[in-house]
Every structure is written in C-alpha cells, then in structure tokens.
Amino acid sequence: MGKFIDISGQRFGMLTVTKRVENDQRNNVMWQCSCDCGGSKITRGTHLRHGYTKSCGCMKSEWISQAQTKHGLSDVNHPEYKRYELERRLPRRYGITADDYYQMLDEQSNKCAICEVKFDDDVKPHVDHCHNTGNVRGLLCRACNTAIGMFRDDTDALKSAIKYLEKQ
C-alpha cells in the first residue's frame, strides 16, 4: 500500500484541497475541494495529482468546446475551417492539395463533371478517383459518384446500362 500524501491546501487547476474525507468503496483516498467558481467537489487524490480533475465540473463545457475546435475555428461552415479540412484530408486520401481541388472546381465551372449540376450548399463536390490506380478524375455530385461506384468503374457495365435505358 502506498504512503499517504497530505495535499491539504494545495491547488490543482481551479480546485483548492480543503480536507480529507472518508475513503471510497475501493479504499481510494478522497479529498474535498473548493472550486474558484464557488462550487465544491469530492475526488480522488490521484485524480488531482495526475491532472484528471481540474474543476468541480464548471469548466467541462468550455474544455469540450476547446477540444472540438481546430485552429480556433469551431464553426464548420466557416470558409477557413472548410479549407483547413480540405488541406488535411485531400493529400492523405487522394494525393492532391486544396489548390488542386479548387483548380478542378474552377475548370469544371463549379459543376459536376457528368450531370453538370451546380455545386452549392445542398450539392457538394465529391472527389472521383480510380480505385485501381488512385488517380483523381474530377469532381462529381454525390449521385454521379455513387452511380459510378455502384458500377465499380466498369465501362462495359455502364454501356449495357445505357443500352437498357435507351430501349425503354
């Protein structure tokens, strides 16, 4: 069994340890703490010393918000956030940069390369690529990208589908 460490009066984050209280069911040493916000909390001494408990819970929503914020941008609709996500995702997934992506958008006049629907808030561009080579072919709407994927990039199957549709 470890040696008892008296942490009365010490500060951990926003908490100040006020007194030792009865051990918990697992015989962990428990401490009552007062928080800077005026609240109080009873917690394990190890949680205080290792930094797991830093407040009475009053800061939890702020810490969650900070954890979900990337580079100071928590609004996923913010243009800078979208660019950050593209810069992070595109090279990993498709081997292209955000600049390559925006250049394709410009070359395609901000439209799907197949059905030519205009991209906007409701119709978002999807990067189409060959699953065998990994080469990026262009930007498609979700429906066209899904359709090509369902045909597994098989041009013969697509030709058969066209013939079938033309018969009807």
Per-residue pLDDT at 7: 93
Measured CA angle at 161 (ends 155, 163), to 5 deg = 105
Q: How many CB atoms are closer than 10 A to CB 139?
A: 23
User: How confident is residue 137, by pLDDT bands cut at 50, 70 and 90?
Assistant: very high
Asked whether the beta carbons of 157 and 123 are under 8 A apart, the reply is no
Q: What is the pLDDT of residues 79-126, one digit of tens each?
A: 777 788 888 889 888 999 999 999 999 999 999 999 999 999 889 999
Q: What is the pLDDT of residues 46-59, one digit of tens each?
A: 999 888 899 998 88
Residue 148, Ramachandran bin (φ over 0: left; ψ between -120 and 50: alpha; else beta): alpha
Per-residue pLDDT at 154: 92
Tokens for 39, please give them: 């609240």
In the CATH hierarchy, which fold is given to the domain comprising 79-167? Answer: His-Me finger endonuclease fold (3.40.1800)
Tell whether the model's pLDDT for residue 62 goes beyond 80. Answer: no
Tell whether the model's pLDDT for residue 69 goes beyond 80. Answer: no
Greater confidence, 160 or 76?
160
Tokens for 163, please give them: 């013939």
Tell whether the model's pLDDT for residue 156 goes beyond 70. Answer: yes
Look up the pTM and report it: 0.55
Per-residue pLDDT at 66: 66
The ranges assigned to domains in the chain are 11-67, 79-167
